[in-house]
Amino acid sequence: MKPLRKAVLPVAGLGTRFLPATKAMAKEMLPVVDKPLIQYAIEEARAAGIEQFCMVTGRGKTALVEHFDIAFELEDTLRARGKQDAFKLLEGTQVEPGSMVTVRQQVPLGLGHAIWCARAFVGDDPFAVLLPDDLVLSDTPCLAQLAAAYRETGGNVVAVTEVPRAHTNRYGILKTGHDDGRLVEVRGLVEKPAPEDAPSTLSIIGRYVLMPEVIGELARMDRGAGGEVQLTDGMAGLIGRQPFHGLRYEGRRFDCGNKAGFLEAQIAFALKRPDLADQVRAFLRNYT
């Protein structure tokens, strides 16, 4: 079993749900409290042992790369002014030289197409996929939980959670086999099934550990739901050929791709901060 050292982060979306804020700024740079979504994703990946990162970007996304570069003028200014606390905050924005690459997804053909764009980076290695829009608040980072499950089971592992049956048409849904309450055998995957057709109510969220063979499945460029190349369909092609499991992760997921989920994440993450929790609780009383 090869170690898990690579991660792909699809970040080419336009962020239209957050216009006008995202007119000139990548949605992944929107902050939750004081860190952008993309930094939460990178930090989560690092906590799982990831050492190499590939961002699949589009036009107007250069700020994502610059955020993880060295800001010499800013750092010199902070040092000169003795602002050590502010300087320390920059540590999470730095990556090892040569550890981060970007590739372009020139046309919006879906998540599966975005992952296929990273094929040269993936090579013959297992890799993680993190969707920065999905933010998970947990004691053990979500991807670290998946990485542990990968070392336990081998093969593909996806983070899963129960959803209301009425919402199955929003997600990739599992057809399940053996289920011990934590790990569930995946016997099938369906992208956005109608509630009456859904094989279960167990949904994939934006955290995956995948084997490199998924790239070959995606290379077929088969169009699925919405006329796009769906990652769910590519993963389905691996079932029966490789181990495939869903992990009921510990933690709470916030869908920061919509405004309500993004605002809820602000409150939840602020309440976990010792420097902010009391102030946040105090002002929330004004709105109850």
Residue 60 confidence (pLDDT): 81
The residue length of the chain stands at 288
Q: Is residue 204 within 8 Å of residue 244, measured between CB atoms?
A: no
Q: Is residue 126 within 8 Å of residue 210, measured between CB atoms?
A: yes
What separation, in Å, do the N-terminal and C-terminal C-alpha atoms of the chain show? Answer: 52
CATH class assigned to 6-287: alpha beta
Q: Is residue 144 within 8 Å of residue 251, measured between CB atoms?
A: no
Question: Minimal CA–CA distance to 143: which of 3, 4, 21?
Answer: 4
Q: Is the peptide bond before 20 cis (omega within 30 degrees of 0)?
A: yes
* Structure-block tokens of residue 50: 């990831």
Q: Is residue 221 within 8 Å of residue 196, measured between CB atoms?
A: no
Per-residue pLDDT tens, the chain, 288 aa: give them: 899 999 999 999 888 899 999 888 899 999 999 999 999 999 999 999 999 999 999 988 889 999 999 888 998 998 999 999 888 888 888 888 899 999 999 988 999 999 999 999 999 999 999 999 999 999 999 999 999 999 999 999 999 999 999 999 888 899 999 999 899 999 998 888 999 999 999 999 999 999 999 999 999 988 887 888 999 999 999 999 999 999 999 999 999 999 999 999 999 999 999 999 999 999 999 987
Cβ-based neighbours of 33, under 8 Å, separated by 6 or more? 266, 269, 270, 273, 276
Residue 133 confidence (pLDDT): 94
Residue 112 confidence (pLDDT): 95
Please, which contacts does 262-266 make with residues 24 or more away whose CB atoms are closer than 8 Å? 262/18, 262/30, 262/32, 265/32, 265/135, 265/137, 266/32, 266/33
